Amino acid sequence: MDAVCATPPMPQGMNEARSGPSQPIAVLGAGAWGTALAAALQRSGSQVTLWARRPDLVHALRTQRSNPGHLPGITLPPGLRATTELAEALAGARLVVLALPSAALRETAQRAAPLLAPDAVVLAACKGFERQCGALPTEVLRDCCDDHALLGVLSGPSFADEVARGLPTRLTLALPALLPSHAQAQRAHAFALGLRQQLARAAIMLELTDDAVAAQVGGALKNLVAIASGMAMAQGLGENARAAIVTLGLDDMRRLTLALGGRSQTLLGSCGVGDLFLTAASAHSRNTRLGLRLGRGDGLDASAASGELAEGAIAALSVQALERRLGLRLRVAACVREVLLQHASAPQALTRLLHDSPAPVLPEPVVSMATPAQRGGRLAKVVRRGAPGHRGLVAAASAVRATVMPRTILATDLDGTFLGGSAAQREALLQWIAAHRSELVLIFVSGRGQAFMQQLATELPVRPDHLIGDVGTSVACGPQYAPLPPLERWLDAAWPADAAARIERQMRAHPQLRPQAVVSGRRRSYLFDDPAQTHGARHDMHGLGFDTLLSDNQYFDVLPRGVQKGPTLLRTLMALGLPAQRTLVAGDTLNDLSMFETGLAGVAVGNREAALDAAIAHHRNVYRSPHPGAASVLDALRRFHQLGNIHGFITGHRLSQAAL
C-alpha cells in the first residue's frame, strides 16, 4: 500500500468519532515505548490495556497513572488499563501492538497467538533482529500467528517521552500489499486509513506503505549507526566524521533492504532517514549514549550495568546471521562488533570504518506500466536509471515477464530436480509452466556450466529467462543470456586473477581429490571417494580465502568467498527488480542448501540427498516433498502460485506433511 493522500471517513472497526464507541486495543510491553504508545492510543479515543510482566509496575500504572522507571514525571491519560494477565489484555482486542525488546518477541508472541481475536491486527513496534537467525519482527510474528492474521509494522523517529507528552510525531505504518485474498487486502487498506485518522488526534501522523522490509531494516540498523556516532562523539572526531558514519549507515540500510526484497525508496521516509537522523544526532538516544560509553573505553559489561545496553548492541550481533546468509558485509555493524566482541579500541574501529571503500550503487529498477491491451504476452521493460555503462543491464533486465511484477518466480536446480522424476512428470511440469508463462519468471540455478545450460534452453519447450550456473559463479540474463555488469564486478572481486593458479598449486598436496574435466572460470571442482579425504583440502582452501562445498557425496567445489547459489540468486533478483517474496526455490543436493538458507520459500524434492535433508530439518521455509524431481516442483509451484506468498504455502505444506 503506497502513501495515501486523501483520508476518507473512518472505516468500520476503528472509532467512529472522538466520543463514539471504541474498540479494545492491547499494547504488550510496558517499557518507555510501549507505555507511550498506549497513552497515545488512549488519548485518541480507544480503550487500551497495557500488559506488563512486573506486578509492581502494573500497580504504579493503576494507582499513580505513571511509569516512574521509564517515563518519570509524565502523567498517563485516565482510563488506561494495566494488567499482568495476557489473556485479560487480549480479550476482545482488535488491535494488538507488541512494543517489546526484540529478544522477548518470539516468546511473547507464542503465548499471545492462541488468545488473539480472529480479526485482530497485530503490529510489531520493536526494532531489531532475532538473535539466532536474524529474522525480522514480522517474520517472527508470522511463525507464531495464524496464517490469515494481518501483520504489520509501526516504526519511525519517536522518542517515547515526547510521544507520551503528546508532541507531534511522524511514524511509518507498513502493512503488506500481497495478501491471500482481495477481502484481506481491502481490510488492510481500511484499517490503515482508520488508524491514521485516529492517531492524528494524538498528534501522531502516519505514512502508509506496503514495504515492511524497509521499515524494519531502517528501524534496526539506525541503532547501530547511533552507537558508532556516539563513539565518534566520545573521541572528538567532529561533525564531519559523524556525517560520514551516517552516510555509510544509510548505505548499509539500502543494501540490506534490497537484498531482503524491500525498496530503498521507502528508506527516504520516516522509517529510514527520519529515524536515522533522530537517533544518530541526539545524545538523548540510548544507543548514542551506549556509543559514548564505548568510545570512552567502557566495556559492554559496564554499559549493561549502567542500564545503557540498548537494542543496537543486540542488533549488531543478530544481524551477523543475515550478513552471512546474504553474502553482505554491513560496515557499521562490523565496526560496532569490533568494539563489542573483538575488544578493538574505538579509535581503531572508527578509523577502519571511515576509510572503508564505498559499496557500488546498483541502479534502481522502475517497471513500466502496460495497458490491458498491451499485456498479451509482450514483455514489460525494466528501465534502469544509471550510468551509460549499465546499458547491458537494461537489455538483460527487459526479459522480466509481467505487466507490473510476475506473480511467481521459480528458481530451480536442474539435475535431480527440474529434470528429475519420470518423463511424464517432467512433461506435466513443462506444460504447467507453458500455460502460465506470461505471469512466471523461470530461472535455472545449477552446478552445470553456462554452455550446457544455454544448449538445454534451446531444446526445452519453455525457455528459461535467466541462468545461474557453476554453483552461483556465473550469471546470464535475458533473451541473449547476457551478463549483468554489477554482478560480474561482484564475482570478479571475489575471484582474483591468480585464484585458479593458487588453488591448483595448493591442491597438488591432495592427490586423492581428482580434478573434474570441465573447468569453470570462477570455481574449481574435484571428485572424491570418501568425505574424509577432503578435510585437509578444505582447511587449505579456507586459508587461501576461498569457500568449499561438498555435494552429492562425490563433488568438492572451491568457490569465491561468499558466492554460492543462494547469495547469487538474491543479488540477481535485486539487480532485476524481482520480488524475493514471490520466489520459490527448488533443489535436491547440498549445493542447493544456500538457496534454502536465503529464507525464500523452498521445496526439497523427494529424491533429495540425505545430507541436505538433515541440513534443512529445522528450516521452516522449506517443504520437504515426498515426490520425486519434477513432480515435487509442480506440486509446490501450483500451491505457491495460487497463494502468492510464502506463509500460506509453508503452512499448507506443514499440514500436508503432518498427515503423511
Sheet holding 514-515, edge to edge: 514-515, 524-527, 555-560, 546-551
pLDDT of residue 182: 62
Beta bridge partners of 549: 557
Task: Using only the alpha carbons of the chain, give its radius of gyration.
Answer: 26
Task: Compute the Cα dihedral for 249, 255, 258, 259 and give only its sign.
Answer: negative
C-alpha to C-alpha distance for 96 and 141, rounded to whole angstroms? 12
pLDDT(398) > 60 = no
With contact defined as beta carbons under 8 Å apart, do 202 and 43 qualify? Answer: yes
- What is the arithmetic mean of pLDDT over 565-580? 86
- What is the arithmetic mean of pLDDT over 426-446? 93
C-alpha to C-alpha distance for 386 and 603, rounded to whole angstroms? 36
Cα 24 to Cα 45, 93, 175, 207, 356, distances in angstroms: 10, 5, 20, 23, 50
Catalytic option among 127, 222, 381, 565: 222
| pLDDT band (50, 70, 90) for residue 455 | very high
Cβ neighbour number for residue 519 with a 10 Å cutoff? 12
User: What is the biggest distance separating any 2 CA atoms in the chain, rounded to whole angstroms?
Assistant: 83
| pLDDT band (50, 70, 90) for residue 358 | low
Half-sphere exposure of 143 (CA within 13 A, CB side): 19
DSSP 25: E
Q: What is the pLDDT of residues 506-527, one digit of tens each?
A: 999 999 999 987 667 898 999 9
Helix 137-144 with 102-112: angle, nearest 10 deg: 20
Q: Which of 202-206, 295-299, 500-504, 633-637 has the lowest mean pLDDT?
A: 295-299
With contact defined as beta carbons under 8 Å apart, do 455 and 438 qualify? Answer: no
* Residue 565: active-site member: no
Q: Which of 65-69, 248-252, 397-401, 513-517 has the lowest mean pLDDT?
A: 397-401
- What is the arithmetic mean of pLDDT over 45-73? 93
**Closest CA relative to residue 159, chosen from 215, 95, 226, 208:** 226
Q: What is the pLDDT of residues 241-258, one digit of tens each?
A: 999 999 999 999 998 988
Q: Which of 9-18, 407-416, 428-437, 525-534 has the lowest mean pLDDT?
A: 9-18
Who has greater pLDDT, 624 or 315?
624
- Cell matching residue 111: 503465548
pLDDT of residue 92: 92
C-alpha to C-alpha distance for 27 and 98, rounded to whole angstroms? 6
Q: Work out the mean pLDDT of the chain and round it to a whole number.
A: 82
Q: What is the 3-state secondary structure (H, E, C) of 75-94?
A: CCCCCCEEECCHHHHHCCCC
pLDDT of residue 519: 64
- Amino acid at residue number 557: D
pLDDT(365) > 70 = no
pLDDT(115) > 60 = yes
- What is the arithmetic mean of pLDDT over 121-140? 88
- Amino acid at residue number 121: V
Exposed, middle or buried by CB within 10 Å (0-12, 13-18, 19+), for 381? middle
Cβ neighbour number for residue 275 with a 10 Å cutoff? 29
C-alpha to C-alpha distance for 264 and 604, rounded to whole angstroms? 32
With contact defined as beta carbons under 8 Å apart, do 185 and 2 qualify? Answer: no
Cβ neighbour number for residue 273 with a 10 Å cutoff? 17
pLDDT of residue 419: 94
Q: Which of 10-24, 278-292, 371-385 has the lowest mean pLDDT?
A: 371-385
pLDDT(466) > 60 = yes
pTM to 2 decimal places:
0.59
| pLDDT band (50, 70, 90) for residue 263 | confident
C-alpha to C-alpha distance for 438 and 427, rounded to whole angstroms? 19
pLDDT(153) > 90 = yes
Cβ neighbour number for residue 384 with a 10 Å cutoff? 22
- Cell matching residue 497: 586473477
| pLDDT band (50, 70, 90) for residue 325 | confident
Could you give the domains of the chain? 24-210 (3.40.50.720), 220-354 (1.10.1040.10), 407-491+564-659 (3.40.50.1000), 496-560 (3.90.1070.10)
| pLDDT band (50, 70, 90) for residue 423 | very high
pLDDT of residue 22: 61
Who has greater pLDDT, 51 or 600?
51
pLDDT of residue 361: 52
C-alpha to C-alpha distance for 422 and 627, rounded to whole angstroms? 11
With contact defined as beta carbons under 8 Å apart, do 58 and 82 qualify? Answer: yes
- What is the arithmetic mean of pLDDT over 26-31? 95
DSSP 8: -
With contact defined as beta carbons under 8 Å apart, do 562 and 325 qualify? Answer: no
Beta bridge partners of 170: 205
- Amino acid at residue number 332: V
With contact defined as beta carbons under 8 Å apart, do 466 and 443 qualify? Answer: yes
Q: Which of 13-17, 152-156, 322-326, 534-538 has the lowest mean pLDDT?
A: 13-17
pLDDT(468) > 90 = yes
C-alpha to C-alpha distance for 151 and 546, rounded to whole angstroms? 41
The shares of helix, strand and coil residues in the chain, as percent rounded to the nearest 5, are 50, 15, 35
pLDDT of residue 362: 47
The rounded percent of the chain whose pLDDT value lies above 90 is 53
| pLDDT band (50, 70, 90) for residue 315 | confident
Who has greater pLDDT, 579 or 299?
579
Cβ neighbour number for residue 299 with a 10 Å cutoff? 13
Q: Of all helices (H) and strands (E), which one includes residue 398?
A: none
- Cell matching residue 22: 471504541
pLDDT of residue 314: 81
Residue with cell 534454502: 596
With contact defined as beta carbons under 8 Å apart, do 124 and 138 qualify? Answer: yes
